């Protein structure tokens, strides 16, 4: 994150202009390219999740700081912000998260808030899914529209589709069958939206506190971490409610 635009609000530890994206060749373990995002206002931007569209040589990143989606051209290195402050990318006003039956409010009385955060890209690179944390809707847009620079802000906004009401979500990912997996923190669950738009519950477990950072293995399992961010001292009157050690979990896909 850069400037005052920490992904999860002002943490007091961010520095202006300190974000970049590295491309690493896993065969040689060498950094082969660095993307600096010089096109973005780094005093406001706060990059978060990343997906790569291999068909178009583009990367899409959520930017809670700018309340939008960053489209990065992997060949030229140029980036641009789209859907900035769109109704699909901003958090809902006065939407306070309630996890573990406690409002997620910091020691200064400020509720946790994040604009567009979790994102997912379908395996055919056709659709980009996204949503803010502080609201309950899942949205998507065809990547063909994200890649086309001719659309005005209003025209691109009109291409956004509301997919489903999913509740509070942090992490998400798409599988090869078109299912979109999402965390559901208030009820300690992982849910998924099937291609027909229906919402299903994959698993519920009290250990799933703020599940995030999803990955799908070749073994047919969904892997995830649990940040327990709402249990940090700043949200609990100075008391650390985190359950240590931090763990990685896996669950069989349907």
| Residue among 177, 166, 175, 187 at smallest CA distance from 221 | 175
Q: How confident is the model at residue 8 (pLDDT cuts 50, 70, 90)?
A: very low
- pLDDT tens by residue, 40-95: 998 899 999 999 999 999 999 999 999 999 999 999 999 999 999 999 999 999 99
15 inside domain: no
Question: Are the C-beta atoms of 48 and 64 separated by less than 8 Å?
Answer: yes
- pTM, full prediction: 0.92
Give the C-alpha separation, 122 to 150, whole Å. Answer: 23
Measuring CA to CA, which residue among 136, 252, 144 is closest to residue 202?
Answer: 252
User: Does 18 map to a domain?
Assistant: no
Question: Is residue 14 scored above 60 in pLDDT?
Answer: no
Residue with tokens 């803010």: 132
4's tokens: 């005052």
Backbone angles phi, psi at 189, to 5 degrees: -135, 160
Find the CATH number of the domain harbouring 52: 2.120.10.30
Is pLDDT of 6 > 60? no
Task: Give pLDDT, residue 44.
Answer: 92
Domain that holds residue 202: 48-252
Q: Is residue 137 part of a domain?
A: yes
How remote is the C-alpha of 130 from its chain's centroid?
7
Q: Note whether residue 38 is domain-resident.
A: no
Return the bridge partners of 182, or none.
172, 191
Q: What is the mean pLDDT of residues 195-199?
A: 95
Number of structural domains (the chain) is 1
Report if residue 23 sits inside a domain. no
> Is residue 171 one of the residues assigned to a domain?
yes
- Percentage above 70 pLDDT, the chain: 93
> Is residue 57, in this structure, part of any structural domain at all?
yes
Structure confidence at residue 17 (pLDDT): 56
Query: For residue 231, is it within any domain?
Result: yes
**14 Cβ contact list (under 8 Å, min separation 6):** 1, 2, 3, 4, 5, 6, 46
């Amino acid at each position: 994150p850069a400037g005052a635009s920490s992904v999860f609000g002002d943490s007091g530890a961010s520095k202006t202009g300190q974000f970049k994206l590295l491309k690493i060749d896993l065969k040689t373990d060498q950094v082969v390219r660095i993307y600096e995002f010089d096109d973005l206002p780094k005093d406001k931007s706060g990059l978060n999740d990343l997906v790569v569209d291999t068909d178009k040589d583009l990367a899409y990143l959520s930017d809670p700081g700018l309340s939008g989606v960053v489209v990065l051209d992997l060949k030229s290195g140029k980036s641009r912000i789209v859907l900035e402050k769109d109704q699909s990318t901003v958090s809902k006003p006065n939407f306070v998260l309630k996890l573990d039956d406690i409002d997620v409010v910091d020691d200064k009385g400020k509720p946790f808030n994040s604009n567009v955060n979790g994102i997912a890209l379908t395996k055919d690179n056709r659709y980009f899914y996204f949503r803010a944390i502080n609201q309950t809707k899942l949205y998507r847009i065809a990547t063909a529209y994200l890649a086309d620079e001719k659309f005005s802000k209003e025209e691109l906004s009109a291409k956004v589709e509301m997919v489903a009401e999913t509740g509070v979500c942090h992490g998400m990912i798409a599988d090869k069958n078109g299912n979109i997996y999402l965390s559901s923190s208030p009820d300690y669950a992982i849910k998924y939206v099937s291609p027909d738009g229906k919402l299903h519950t994959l698993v519920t477990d009290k250990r799933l506190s703020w599940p995030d950072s999803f990955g799908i293995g070749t073994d047919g399992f969904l892997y995830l971490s649990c940040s327990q961010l709402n249990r940090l001292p700043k949200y609990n009157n100075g008391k650390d409610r985190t359950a240590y050690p931090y763990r990685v979990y896996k669950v069989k896909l349907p």
